[in-house]
A and B are shown apart, each in its own frame.
Chain A
Amino acid sequence: MRPTAFGGKQLRAFDRSWPGLTAAPAKPPRPLGGIASDALVRHLYVHLPFCAHRCGYCDFVTVVGRRGQHAGYVDGLLAELELERELLAPELETVFLGGGTPTFTEPRELERLLAALPAAAEVTIEANPETVTPALAELLRRNRVNRVSLGAQSFQPELLGVLDRVAGPDDVRAGVENLRDAGFDNISLDLIYGIPGQRPSDLAADIGEALGLRPEHLSCYELEAKPGTRFTHAHGEELRRQAEAMEGYFECVVEMLIGAGYRWYETANFCRAVGGRDLRSRHNLAYWRGRDYLGLGIGAVSTVRGQRWRTTPRLGPYLAALREGRRPLRELELLPDSVQREERVMLGLRLDEPLPFAAVAASVDAEALTRLERLGLAQRVSLGDGEPPAAPGALTLTPQGRLLGDAVTADLLA
């Protein structure tokens, strides 16, 4: 780790989770003349770091308060977008505004940003329930946002308290209602399980409440005690103690949601499987399928043509660089073919769709695969393109294997 990349202490603290990258104010990959359009990036992530306060468990790049800087930050994002525009395809598939709390951004500035972003088939924004007023829902709708991911986390007031969340259960219900009223037909709810003190009945109640709101999509995360967070400091010991008692929670979540008619399409993600609509998150599918993506804003990560870079998480230097028309500092990581293959396996096996085998075969340990097949954790399946059944061309994990996905993947990789 070279903290000199961005200079200050802040990065060092932030950077603990970021593996050792080459520190350099990286130039983005230069588009070659006459490059095919599919080499252009079709997925855009925009980071809006502002939050009313920082939740104890959060280790994202966030900026608390600083209302006065929202306008300057949107200026910065738009300037950065201009600098990188040549990487983007003329028509984007997805735009995702994540945070922070994107909906905490000053409405005027949020609207200015949304209006200036390129159009896309799916435009998602993350929102905290308490910020979703009828006016905000209207603003999002009018600016082509067609998917909202709402951070509900739990419906139990005392568990929300443990997480430092501001919103109460009623805020979540009101937020969903406001979005529906504004015409949103693609709402995702985030739930967190494994909260210190959470009993199995709390978990069942949370899922029941969430299902009652009939979201098109659900993301369910186990609470991770990330090193260095206030939360880990306060509750880490307790989390370790209850780890065994709660290890069945994941299974329980999966069973309940599948039972309610949801598709478990990614390790932590579920979508309604009715009415012929594909309600999977198209933006996140792009990550899991190994597509290129461009990230704008502080701390945002981009992966484009074998290079990955993360922009400085420091607001001041980020804005200063863009005011001067320069790219902000970045950490650069080169992804050789072998690493790209490994990532394809690692991400692809999180999905319920088969992973085409040929492209990753060189990184898969055939013996391990046979062993995992025998244990009923992995299976080779047909790609369904008329290949002979003797030569199944794709790989997938069984439901059991998906629960143990990290260990299975570690075994599978050669």
Chain B
Amino acid sequence: MDLQRIRNFSIIAHIDHGKSTLADRILELTKTVSGREMRAQVLDTMELERERGITIKAQAVRVNWKGNELNLIDTPGHVDFTYEVSRSLQACEGAVLVVDAAQGVEAQTVANAYLAIENNLEIVPVVNKIDLPQADPDAAAAELAELVGGKPEDVLRISAKTGEGVADVLDAIVERIPPPSGLVSAAAPPRALVFDSSYDQYRGVVAFVRMVDGAFAAGEPLRAMAQGTRFEAEEVGFFSPTMKAAETLGAGEVGYVITGLKDVSRLRVGDTLTSERNPAAEPLPGYKDVKPMVFAGLFPTDSDDYPDLRDALERLKLNDAALFYEPETSQALGFGFRCGFLGLLHMEIVRERLEREFDLDLLVTAPNVAYRVLERSGEWLEVHNPAEMPRELDAVEEPYVRASIIVPKDYVGPVMELNNDRRGRFDHMEYLSPERVLLAYELPLAEIVLDYYDQLKSRTRGYASFDYDVAGFREGALARVDILIGEEPVDALSMIVHRDAAYSRGKALVERLRKEIPRQYFDVAVQAAIGSRVIARETVKAKRKDVLAKCYGGDISRKRKLLEKQKAGKRRMKQVGAVEVPQEAFLAVLNLNDGSKK
């Protein structure tokens, strides 16, 4: 195919602004799928994606439009997958930026637009959902033009739902987005960017690639340049929208390579594939190893399910290279895994898939971030679990994020207050329109992993939109707070908090625990401590009476059932020393801010 007739593009949008619907319409209009095959949101194949209306795994589809080959590279719609989004964008020359005509520009729109601009993409701005009664296409178009530095009249106005204006979008893609450039010559050392991968249980890892230079043929020995993984291309082809094998994949084209690899971790998104016979000297720029930033312990509610949890994680990992896990033993919660995620949504998705697809009952500990610790020995150590944080250390670094928050101007005050509470550093503020304001902050990731988003929504009546990306590690005045129940330290309840907040968090947690721990045969002290210094203490008073007064002939069966219930309740308790602690108590730290803030 003549490079001049190829266009590679993505659709980027805030969640629910209609990206998938637009993709569906494009497939229909280009007759890539027949009306009969058309299901809503063809590209979202996973059950969860369809249900939540978000795209988790990027996909790429080839469509034909007026003699041109258009490759639509779908991107995941959430901040946690920014790296995947940026890889997808790197495989394109242009992006269709979609904004809901009723909602206007949102935080994610901004983040995506910046990402596209950073990748030198030509942006085709589109206002969608103009058929909605509450739509204000003029206002949305003005915001969008402001954002991408164009003119409002260049913003296309469409309804992906009704199909109105979708043909214009396709025309604009052909007209405005430049064709790919690259070394077309068959003799050129081939280079292809891996922008995503998936795992097929029969055929192994399937790499989604954008050919930059040269061509790959089926059967060719290939190599991933960053990781050095070698394999043979069992098949090459493209999506239309299902996999269609081809003899070769040429420069500028988007398609897939079936690798036969049995382990997704051996082929990372962002890596460059080249030919073993005619290797390129330099890989494509920009490969980066994505590192999980949010960690949590996953424990089976029933310890007998531990092997099932291990198998399930192994299988999830096949399709999700970013998922990290290692065995963890907690004296309170037993055997489980410490898992690392890209962000909160990623964690939520993994947890839901484990519970839904693998039918596991899980206890998930409060999430924490990764810390870098300078030990007395002078060595830097990465810590994923508060319980592993050394008590003696020289310095601690924690991850910070660049956060963009877009709110109606009336809510600027409450959002600033929230960010100040969360150790945020104000960066700048922009008026997107007379009504809406973009606030840029730097925030410690640790301050947003627990309940930041809920707080943000409740303080702005749901109007705020929020996005972030990781900015790097910064030193922080952090302390490890341990919790002792009846003199026994409880690893699962240790937390790392800013020194200024240690006292109030420690106090809040022991108060919470006093309420969660049922009264025992003896007084139980619940303490929060930094090192050996106790900073808060509560007592769960011993119970003095626990017996049903009456028990005669007619009461015996009822009484026995009550006793069995009481016994079953005890069985669900975890033993901490001599104290029985309900599993829910280990989640107390998750809900620390309930009611304590407005």
Contacts and interface: CB of A to CB of B under 8 A. Distances in A.
A283 to B, nearest CB: 9
Interface stretch (A16-24, A111-119, A231-239): A16-24
A21 B551 contact: no
B130 to A, nearest CB: 55
Given A45-B553, A407-B543, A18 B558 contact: yes
A346 B563 CA distance: 8
Question: 8 closest Cβ contacts across the A-B interface?
Answer: A405-B547, A221-B549, A19-B561, A410-B566, A407-B546, A301-B554, A222-B549, A410-B567
Contacts of B598: none
A404 interface: yes
Given A404-B545, A407-B543, A410-B566, A267 B560 contact: no
B558 A409 contact: no
A402 interface: yes
B431 interface: no
B554 A409 contact: no
Interface in B548-573: 548-554, 556-563, 566-567, 570
Nearest to A301: B554
Contacts of A381: none
A299 B555 CA distance: 12
A228 B7 CA distance: 71
A284 interface: yes
Contacts of A248: 544-545
B558 A250 contact: no
Given A404-B543, A410-B567, A346 B549 contact: no
A357 interface: no
A271 to B, nearest CB: 16
B426 interface: no
B114 interface: no
A403 interface: yes
Given A19-B557, A301-B553, A339-B560, A247 B544 contact: yes
Contact of B548 (A220, A224, A408): A224
Contacts of B552: 284, 287
Given A267-B549, A346-B563, A410-B566, A287 B556 contact: yes
A109 interface: no
Contacts of A347: 551, 556
Interface residues of A, number: 47
Given A267-B549, A405-B547, A342 B560 contact: yes
A145 to B, nearest CB: 19
Interface string A281-313: 000100110000101000111010000101000
B554 A295 contact: yes
Contacts of A405: 546-547
A251 interface: yes
B547 A403 contact: yes
Interface of A: 17-19, 21, 45, 220-222, 224, 247-248, 250-251, 267-268, 284, 287-288, 293, 295, 299-301, 303, 308, 310, 333, 339, 342-343, 346-347, 350, 371, 375, 377, 402-411, 413
Nearest to A333: B557
A28 to B, nearest CB: 16
B566 A407 contact: yes
Interface string B161-196: 000000000000000000000000000000000000
B570 A410 contact: yes
Given A375-B522, A406-B547, A407-B566, A293 B557 contact: no
A293 B556 CA distance: 12
Given A284-B552, A406-B566, 4 more contacts: A247-B543, A300-B554, A301-B553, A375-B522
B413 to A, nearest CB: 39
A254 to B, nearest CB: 10
A19 to B, nearest CB: 4
B521 A375 contact: yes
A407 B543 CA distance: 10
A221 B550 contact: yes
Contact of A404 (B521, B550, B553, B557): B521
Given A293-B553, A343-B556, A347-B551, A410 B563 contact: yes
B103 to A, nearest CB: 45
Contacts of A404: 521, 543-547
A267 B558 contact: no
Contacts of B558: 17-19
Nearest to B520: A407
A50 B224 CA distance: 89
Given A18-B558, A19-B557, A406-B566, A267 B551 contact: yes
B550 A224 contact: yes
A220 B547 CA distance: 13
B407 to A, nearest CB: 41
Nearest to A287: B553
Contact of A377 (B521, B544, B563, B578): B521
Nearest to B547: A405
B522 A251 contact: no
